[in-house]
Amino acid sequence: TQLLKQSPQFLSIQEGENLTVYCNSSSVFSSLQWYRQEPGEGPVLLVTVVTGGEVKKLKRLTFQFGDARKDSSLHITAAQPGDTGLYLCAGEVRDQGAQKLVFGQGTRLTINP
């Protein structure tokens, strides 16, 4: 079973449009991270949110952590072809004393020029 569900799984939009990607769970996370992955490479961290309700901005990307720390969203304003990639959310959980990151299945985003 997938602890973190991302939606949509695939999204293809035109340059200049806005979009939102969602990351949902029934579990509470200590922190939540968003990564972006390019073909042939490993994921690279975009942002970490820690506090319920926290909002972080990274240029045209806005990340929000839900008040209950169970969900998160990524909003991109005026998308550009350079935003194309696989976006992954990852939640931090504590399991038998060890902290682990569990990942969603990813959202593959394509921005068409």
Partner 1 sequence: NAGVTQTPKFQVLKTGQSMTLQCAQDMNHEYMSWYRQDPGMGLRLIHYSVGAGITDQGEVPNGYNVSRSTTEDFPLRLLSAAPSQTSVYFCASSRRGGFSYNSPLHFGNGTRLTVT
Q: Determine if 62 is a binding residue for partner 1 (CB under 8 A).
A: no
Q: Determine if 27 is a binding residue for partner 1 (CB under 8 A).
A: no
Cα–Cα distance, 56 to 24 (Å, whole number): 18
Of 11-19, 57-65, 72-80, 94-102: span binding partner 1 (CB under 8 A):
94-102
- Do 111 and 83 form a contact (C-beta atoms < 8 A)? yes
Six token digits for residue 72:
């998160």
Cα–Cα distance, 4 to 35 (Å, whole number): 14
Of 14-22, 43-51, 58-66, 77-85: span binding partner 1 (CB under 8 A):
43-51
**Site size for partner 1 (CB under 8 A):** 28
